[in-house]
């Protein structure tokens, strides 16, 4: 009973215990805020990686492998695997409507990609019913089903853009459908043609606003031969781009560049800045055609391959170069098969099933696809593919937490100093307690209990402060940018356009326990000192 009364009295009658609580609070808030943001970065990276690429990829880069449909059949027959899809991944050059050029990563996909990745959710220009959380003013143009009609009228009334470009504005529902199919209906001819979907940060035409929405540009300029600029629509899905790729022969050598002018059906946003800045999606069949990876007739070797001047007589009696006979059909190829595991499955377990499926597949097509031993090292989870980067992030988190833990020992020594001073100040009180029957353990527990109360109070306040800071970290960051011009979180450096803003409960519990533990450690030596005091000497203390 006396321990509870004295703890309450000491806590409310002195300012030094409040300083100890403040120290614990600041240390706890610092550790939890840093851990939540850095740990949240890693969680977001892994989550978006799985949403972009599925759980496992089976890949043979550059020249790819054939008979992939049979491999997909084997994979989807496994109850642990939910879906699989074929993909081609390559690099190329894109020329934007305003003649800017970039090196990009090009991915050929078909409709099955949406079953493996969160593709439909990532398509940006589509109808939405509710605004984004920070779009309190409801300024997102996607909320307006008639935006495209009014926009077209404004552009047409401006007089600087011709009617053909105005006609390219489409309803959101049509843009979503064309983005999913990667095909677009030509407004002039009505023909359905292959199209591309760009990462929303790639072109720079769609400007990201502080509320997380994107504002499409009205107009854009294009350099013309006379040295001036032609005015075009700045809404990138109204335009077209030129893609250039390098097909590879069987030996891995480029056999000549291939270019195609393709309309832009839509844009996508994964939330991973690097992907949104450098990726172009194209229909799988079109990319197979451009890379000479589609199904085609295979020709026999020339009759005299060592003689470049060899000729033969044709049906008309004239000499001609030897004509090679057809020797069969070369099946279509892809570079990658992406796999999504069933709900709740571990990616590593899915990888093991993919390895087993490919082993059977390679036996079925022995000599016609890469062997099991060759492919084993390229059957990877997304985390394994990014192991170097993810490992560096994990080590950085561990190092920062260690430094913060080391800094937090300041609170231990501060509490030790405060309690040592208080024990010396309350020596006579300790003597009175001992003289009326309080035992050594009771006196020690009084000060340890005091340390627990200080640690618990400081850690709870620190946890509350950390929650407030983390939950509002993006508005705080935006305010710093507006008021001081201070930009700490650059999406091009940190991959994500927003700072992670979620506190994991178990991390808060660990920090809370750590705050209490440090406080008890700080109170331990003063508690032992108080318990070992001689009551007679303590009563005579001046």
pLDDT in tens, the chain (542 residues): 445 555 555 555 567 777 788 888 888 888 888 888 888 878 877 788 788 888 999 999 888 899 999 999 999 999 999 999 999 999 999 999 888 898 999 999 999 999 999 899 999 999 998 888 778 888 888 998 888 777 766 666 655 555 555 566 788 999 999 999 999 877 667 788 999 999 999 988 888 887 778 888 765 555 555 655 555 667 888 888 999 998 876 666 767 889 999 999 999 998 888 888 999 999 999 999 999 898 876 655 544 455 555 666 666 666 666 665 555 678 899 999 999 999 888 999 999 999 999 999 999 999 889 998 888 889 999 888 877 777 777 888 888 888 877 777 777 887 888 777 777 666 666 666 656 656 667 667 777 877 888 888 888 999 999 989 888 888 887 777 777 777 777 665 555 667 777 888 888 888 888 888 888 888 888 877 777 666 656 555 55
Domain count, the chain: 2
Whether residue 253 is found in the same domain as residue 108: yes
Among 252, 275, 294, give the residue marking a domain's end: 294
Q: Are 17 and 98 part of one and the same domain? A: no
What pLDDT shows up at residue 108?
96
The answer to whether residues 251 and 228 touch, using CB atoms and an 8 Å cutoff, is no
Sequence length of the chain is: 542
Say yes or no: 260 and 159 in one domain: yes
- Chosen domain end from 264, 294, 324: 294
The residue out of 226, 259, 294 marking a domain boundary is: 294
Q: Which two tokens stand for residue 158?
A: 């401006």
Range of the domain at 533: 2-48+389-539
Q: Please check whether residues 469 and 523 belong to one and the same domain.
A: yes
The vertex-287 CA angle with 347 and 68, nearest 5°, equals 45
Question: E strands of 174-251, at which residues?
Answer: 183-185, 192-194, 196-199, 206-208, 214-216, 219-223, 229-233, 240-245
Three-state DSSP class for residue 530 = helix
On whether the CB atoms of residues 142 and 172 are closer than 8 A, the answer is yes
pLDDT value, residue 303 = 47
Pair of tokens at residue 215: 């504002």
36 and 158 co-located in one domain: no
């Amino acid at each position: 009973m006396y321990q509870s009364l004295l703890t309450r009295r000491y806590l409310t009658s002195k300012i030094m215990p409040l300083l100890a609580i403040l120290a614990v609070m600041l240390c706890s808030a610092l550790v939890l805020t840093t851990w939540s943001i850095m740990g949240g970065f890693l969680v977001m990276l892994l989550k978006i990686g799985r949403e972009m690429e599925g759980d496992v990829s089976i890949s043979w880069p550059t020249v790819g492998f054939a008979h992939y449909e049979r491999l997909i059949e084997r994979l989807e027959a496994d109850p642990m695997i939910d879906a699989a899809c074929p993909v081609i991944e390559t690099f190329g050059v894109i020329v934007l409507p305003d003649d800017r050029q970039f090196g990009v990563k090009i991915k050929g996909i078909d409709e099955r990609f949406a079953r493996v990745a969160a593709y439909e959710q990532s398509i940006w220009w589509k109808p939405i019913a509710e605004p984004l959380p920070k779009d309190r003013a409801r300024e997102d143009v996607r909320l307006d089903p008639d935006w495209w009609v009014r926009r077209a009228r404004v552009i047409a009334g401006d007089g600087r853009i011709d009617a053909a470009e105005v006609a390219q504005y489409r309803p959101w529902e049509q843009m979503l459908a064309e983005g999913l199919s990667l095909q677009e209906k030509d407004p002039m001819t009505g023909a359905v043609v292959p199209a591309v979907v760009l990462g929303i940060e790639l072109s720079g035409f769609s400007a990201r606003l502080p509320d997380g929405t994107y504002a499409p540009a009205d107009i854009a300029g294009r350099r013309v031969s006379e040295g001036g600029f032609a005015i075009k629509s700045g809404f990138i899905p109204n335009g077209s781009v030129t893609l250039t790729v390098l097909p590879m022969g069987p030996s891995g050598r480029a056999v000549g560049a291939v270019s195609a002018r393709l309309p832009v059906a839509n844009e996508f946003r994964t939330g991973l800045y690097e992907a949104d800045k450098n990726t172009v999606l194209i229909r799988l069949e079109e990319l197979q055609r451009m890379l000479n990876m589609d199904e085609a007739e295979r020709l026999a070797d020339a009759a005299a391959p060592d003689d470049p001047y060899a000729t033969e007589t044709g049906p008309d009696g004239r000499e001609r170069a030897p004509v090679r006979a057809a020797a069969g059909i070369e099946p279509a190829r892809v570079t990658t098969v992406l796999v999504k595991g069933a709900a709740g499955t571990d990616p590593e377990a899915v990888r093991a099933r993919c390895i087993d499926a490919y082993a059977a597949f390679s036996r079925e097509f022995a000599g016609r696809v890469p062997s099991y031993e060759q492919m084993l090292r390229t059957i990877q989870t997304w985390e394994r593919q990014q192991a170097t980067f993810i490992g560096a992030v994990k080590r950085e988190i561990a190092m920062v937490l260690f430094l913060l833990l080391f800094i937090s020992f300041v609170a231990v020594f501060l509490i030790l100093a405060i309690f040592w001073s208080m024990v010396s100040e309350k020596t006579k009180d300790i003597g009175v307690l001992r003289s009326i029957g309080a035992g050594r353990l009771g006196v020690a527990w009084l000060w340890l209990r005091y340390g627990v109360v200080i640690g618990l109070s400081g850690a709870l306040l620190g946890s509350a402060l950390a929650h407030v800071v983390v939950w509002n970290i993006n508005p705080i960051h935006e305010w710093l940018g507006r008021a001081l011009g201070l930009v700490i979180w650059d999406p091009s450096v940190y991959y994500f356009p927003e700072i992670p803003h979620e506190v994991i409960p178990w991390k808060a519990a660990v920090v809370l326990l750590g705050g209490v533990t440090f406080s008890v450690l700080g109170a331990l030596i003063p508690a032992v000192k108080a318990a070992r005091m001689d009551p007679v000497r303590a009563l005579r203390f001046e």
